[in-house]
Structure 1
Amino acid sequence: MNPIRRAAAWPSRVPGGRDGRRLLTIALIDRIGSGLWASVSVLYFTYVAGLSLGQVGTLAAVAGAVGIAGAPIGGRLADRFPLPRVLIAVQLLRALASFALLTTDHYALLVVFCALGGLGDRAGNVLTRLYATRIAGPDRVRYQAVQRTVANAGWALGGLAAAAALALGSAAAYRWLLAGDALSFVATALLTLRCGEPRSPSRKVTDSNSPRPTTIPPNPWRDSTYLAYVATDTVLFLDDAVFKVGLPLWIAHASSAPHGLAPLLLVLNNVLVVAFQVPLARFGATTAAARALLVPLSAAFALGGVAMAASATGETDAATLFLTAAAMLFTLAEMLHATISWELSVALAPDSAQGAYLGVHGLAQSAQRSVGPLAVTTAIATGPLGWLAFGSMIAVTCMIQRRLVNDRLAHGPLSVASITVSEH
C-alpha cells in the first residue's frame, strides 16, 4: 500500500482526528504544487521571462534572503492570532505571488513577487508545523513523520507531472505549471477554512468579569541556550545541500560515475524517505529518545563523508557503489535528523511562546539554504579530504548538540522565565 493510501487508511491512528487528516491532505496538495513549480522555475525565468543567468541567480538569492524573515514572523503571529486564520492569509499570499509572476516579465517586479512568495513559503512551513504540533500533542513526532511521508509523495507526483508537461516544450506549458502551483495554494487555503483552532497554551480565553492576566512570554532572542541549539541545527540541515548541490556537482566534476546517476540518487532519496520515515519516527518519540538518536546521526554523517571521499578513488563501478552508499547514509541522516528536530525544537521551547520559538527554529533551515551550497562547494573544491572534513564537522556538531540538550534539560525546559502581571 502506498504511503498516501496508508495514511488515509489510518483514520483512528492519525493524531489530531479530523483536523489531522485534513492537514495531511493540505500537505499533499501543497507539495504537488511545489513539485510542479520547483523543478522548472529556473527554466521558466530563463526561457519565458527571458532573464540572464546572473539575473536568475540574484532573483533566487533575494527571494531566499527575504524568506528567512518568514519563519519568525509567522511564529510570532501564531502566538497572537488564531492559527488557521494566519495560515490561510499566508497561503493566499503565496497564491497571489505565484499568479503575479504570470502577469509580467519586468525584472524588478519578478524579484518583488518571488520575495513575497519566499516570505510566505517559510512562514507557511513554520505555521503548518506548529499546527501539527498542537493537534498531535504527545504524538507529534509520529504525526510529523506521516505528514512528511505524504508531502514527499506529493512532491514526487508534482515532479512527474512537470516532467510530462515539459515534453511539450512550449512557453504555455511553463505557465500552466506555475498556475497549477498557484491554484494549489488556493486549494489549501479553502481546506484550511474547515480546520479548527487547536488548543494553544499561549492564547487563553478568560472571563471578561474577572481580572485579566497579562503574560509577557519568554523571548527566544534572549534565550541563549535555544539560540545555540538553533545554530547547531543549522549545521545538521546540511544534508539538504548534499542532495541539491553536492552530489550532482561531485558526480559531474570529480567522480568517474556516469552523470545520469545524479537524478537516480535523488529518486532513491525520495523513495527511502517515503518508505522509512514513519518507522524510524518511533525511535524518537520522547525527548530522551530523540537526544539519544544524535549518536547514530553523528555516525551516519561521518560515514557519509567517508563514502563521498572514497568515490573519487575508484573506477566507474566502485565510484557508483560508493556514491550510492553515500546517498543512503545521508538519507538516513536526513530521516534521523528530521525525527530529532521535530521533538527537540518543541521540547526545548516554553509552552507559552511555542510559536515564537518554532519561528526562530525555522531560521535554521532558512539559513542552511544560503550556507549549504557554499559548504558543499567548498568540500568539492577541496577534494576527498573536503568531504572527510564535511562529514566530521557535522558529526562533531551532533555531539555538541547532544551535550547542549542535556544541559538544557538538566536545568528545566526554560532558561528565560515568563513574567505574569495582573491587571485590576
Structure 2
Amino acid sequence: MSRHLPVVAGRSRQLPCQGASHCLVSLLGMVEGGLGGRIAGVVGGSGPERVLVAASFVNRVGNGLFNAASAMYFTLIVGLPAAHVGAALTIAGLVGLSAGIPGGHLADRRGARAVMMGALVVQAVSMAALVLVESWLAFTVVATVDQVAAAVGGAASGALVARVGGERPAAFRAKLRTFVNLGVVLGTVGSGLALAAGTRGAYVTLILGNAASFALCAALLLLLPHYPVLKAPPRERRLPAFADRPYLVFTALYGAMGLQYSTVSLLLPIWIAQHTEAPRWTAAAVFAVNAAFCVLLQTRIGSRIETPHDGGRAFRTAGLLFLVSCPMMALAAYTPVWSAAGLLIAAIFVHSLGEIWESSAGFALGFGLAPDHAQGQYQGLLGLGFSAGQAVAPAILTTVVLGLGVTGWLLLAVFFAAVGAAGPALARWGVRTRPGQAVVAEAAAA
C-alpha cells in the first residue's frame, strides 16, 4: 500500500554510502547483457534502498554458504549423531519462536536499525563460535543464541524495510526479495565447492564466511539514515498485534500457505525419487528452475501489488496457481521418463508463479495492515506464524500427502486454493477495521 511514511530529515540527500553500495550492484552486472546485468538494473531507488539491498544480498550469500552444508558439517566433521543435531536445532528453533514479537516491539520503541545491527553482531559471534563446538550441549546453546538473534533481527528487519520502502514499498520489497533469492543461490553454489572438497578446512571456511556476512551486513546498516521512533497512540495496549483479529487470521493463513515452500524443497524431491521415472537430477533441476524464475519475475510481478486489496487478490491467485501445479507434480508418476521431467519443469514454473504471487501478497497485507508505529511487533507476529507453519510442514507433507499418494497431492492443491480464496475477504475486513489506512488504500487503488 502506498503509505506516506514520515519524512526523515535529509532523506533526499545523496548519502556518502551511495558509491559503496553501488559497487556491489555493479559487481552483479560485470557481465554486460547477462543475467547479473539485467538484475542489477532493477535496483535503482534511493540511497537507503540500495544500502539495504546490498546488506541483505551480502547476508543471504553467507546464509547460502552455510545452510546447504551445516548438517553435514556437524554429522560428518564434528561427529554428532544426526538425531542429536536435529534435536538441538528443534530446541533452538522453539526458543527462537518466542523472541520475534518482543524483539519487534523493542525495534519499534528503540529503533529498527539499532536492534537489527545488534542482532546481526550476536549472530556473527555465535556463527563464528560454531567452529569451536565439539559437544551436543555446546551446539545446542550456540544454536539457540543464534536462533533468538535471528528472530529478533527478522522482526527488526521488517520494520526497517517498511521505513526504507518510502512511498512505493511494494516495488522496493519486490526488488529486495529478488536480490535475497539471488544471494542464496550464489551462496549455495559456493557451498557446493566445499561439499566437493569434504575437508574440515572447507567447512570451517563456509561457517566463517557466513559469520563475516553478518558482520558486513551490520556494518553496511551504519550507512542508513537514523529513522526516528514513531510514537504509539495514547492509551494503546502494549502489544496491539494480539488484539488485531484480522491480522491474527492473516498470520494463520500465511503460515498455512507457507507449506508450499516445503512442497518444493522436501515433498517434491521425495516424490521424484520414489514415485516417478524422471532422472534423479530432475530434483536439483526443478529447485534451480524455481530459484531462477523467482529471481527473474519477482520484481516484475511484485511491484504491482501494493495495497491490501491487491494483496488479497494476489493471495487468491497464488492459491489457484498451486491448485494447478500440485496435480501436475502428482501426474509425473504416470508419465514416461522424459515426459515426466518435462511435466515437472512445467509444474515448477506454475508453482514458482504462485510463490511470487504469494510472497507479494504477504508483503502487501503483512505491511499494509500493520500500523507504522508497530511494524516490528507485527512482523514478529507474522514471522511466528510462518515459522510455526514451517515447523509442522515436514510432518504433514511426509505423512498425509505422501501416505495418500496422488489423492494427497489433490487434497493439498484444494487446501492451497481454499486458503487463498479467503484473501479478498480478509483484505476487506482488515482495511475496514483501520479507517485511517482505508482512506489511503482506497486513494491508492483509485
| TM-score under structure 2 length normalisation | 0.85
2:96 to 60, 64, 67: 67
Deviates more, 1:236-245 or 1:190-199: 190-199
Alignment of 1:19-418 (within 5 A): 19-202=48-231, 216=237, 219-377=240-398, 378-412=400-434
What SS does the corresponding residue of 1:167 show, helix, strand or coil? Answer: helix
The residue type equivalent to 2:129 in the other structure is: A
Amino acid at match of 2:91: V
Cα separation, 1, equivalents of 2:166 and 2:334: 49
Please report how far the alpha carbon of residue 200 of structure 1 lies from its aligned counterpart in structure 2 after TM superposition. 4.7
CA offset at residue 216 of structure 1?
Answer: 4.3
1:309 maps to a residue whose letter is: A
CA deviation after TM superposition for structure 1 residue 363, in Å: 1.3
What is the letter of the counterpart of residue 280 of structure 1? I
Pair 1:2–1:414, CA change in 2 (3 A)? farther
Contact 1:134 1:199 in 2 (8 A): no
Which deviates further from its counterpart, 105-114 or 216-225?
216-225
Asked if the contact 1:348/1:413 (under 8 Å) is kept, the reply is no
Whole-angstrom distance in 2 between the partners of 1:216 and 1:128: 23
Contact 2:55 2:220 in 1 (8 A): yes
AA paired with 2:251?
V
Q: Note closer, same or farther for the CA distance 1:9–1:313 as it changes in structure 2 (3 Å cut).
A: closer
Q: Letter of the aligned partner of 1:138 in structure 2? A: E
The one-letter code of the counterpart of 2:341 is: T
Unaligned runs of 5+ in 1: 205-212, 416-424
Distance across 2 between alignment mates of 1:172 and 1:411:
56
Q: CA deviation at 1:350?
A: 2.2
Q: How big is the shift at 1:265?
A: 0.8
Q: How many residues align?
A: 404
Q: Distance in 2 between matches of 1:244 and 1:104?
A: 28
Q: For the Cα contact (< 8 Å) 1:297–1:337, is it kept in 2?
A: yes
Q: Tell me the TM-score normalised to structure 1 length.
A: 0.90
Residues 312 and 425 of structure 2 are in contact (CA less than 8 Å); yes or no, is this contact kept in structure 1? no
Counterparts in 2 of 1:7 and 1:82: CA distance versus 1, 3 Å: farther
Q: Which has the higher mean CA deviation after the structures are superposed, 336-345 or 402-411?
A: 402-411
Residues of 2 paired with 1:229 and 1:290: CA distance? Answer: 11
2:312–2:426 Cα contact (<8 Å) kept: no
Mapped contact 2:155–2:383 kept (Cα < 8 A): yes
Matched letter for residue 271 of structure 2: W
CA distance, structure 2, for counterparts of residue 288 and residue 178 of structure 1: 42
Task: Give the Cα–Cα distance (whole angstroms) in 1 for the partners of residues 112 and 430 of structure 2.
Answer: 28
Aligned-residue CA RMSD (Å): 2.1
3-state SS of 1:398 partner: helix
- Secondary structure of the residue aligned to 1:137 is coil
> How far apart are residue 123 of structure 1 and its match?
2.6
**In 2 relative to 1, CA 407–359 (structure 1 residues): closer, same or farther, beyond 3 Å?**
same
Aligned residue for 1:80, secondary structure, equals: helix
Q: What is the SS of the residue equivalent to 2:113?
A: helix
Q: Which amino acid aligns with 1:140?
A: P
For 2:203 and 2:320, how far apart are their aligned partners in 1? 42
Verify the 8 A CA contact 1:349 1:414 in the aligned structure 2: no
Question: Offset at 1:285?
Answer: 2.1
Give the match's secondary structure for 1:327.
Answer: helix
Could you tell me how far 1:112 is from its partner in structure 2? 1.2
Confirm or deny: 8 A CA contact 1:254 1:312 kept in the other structure. Answer: yes
How far did 1:10 drift? 5.8
Are the counterparts in 1 of residues 109 and 229 from structure 2 also a CA contact under 8 Å? no
Structure 1 position 194, deviation (Å): 2.1
1:139 Cα deviation after fit: 1.2
What SS class does the counterpart of residue 285 from structure 1 fall into? coil
Query: Whole-Å Cα distance in 1 between the matches of residues 409 and 272 of structure 2?
Result: 13
Tell me, in whole angstroms, the C-alpha distance in 2 between the residues paired with 1:363 and 1:414: 27
Flag the 1:195–1:65 CA change in 2: closer, same or farther, 3 A. Answer: same
* 1:4–1:150 CA contact under 8 A, matched in 2: no
Q: Corresponding residue for 1:420?
A: none
Q: CA deviation at 1:413?
A: 5.4
Shift in Å at residue 387 of structure 1? 0.5
Q: Which amino acid aligns with 1:393?
A: F
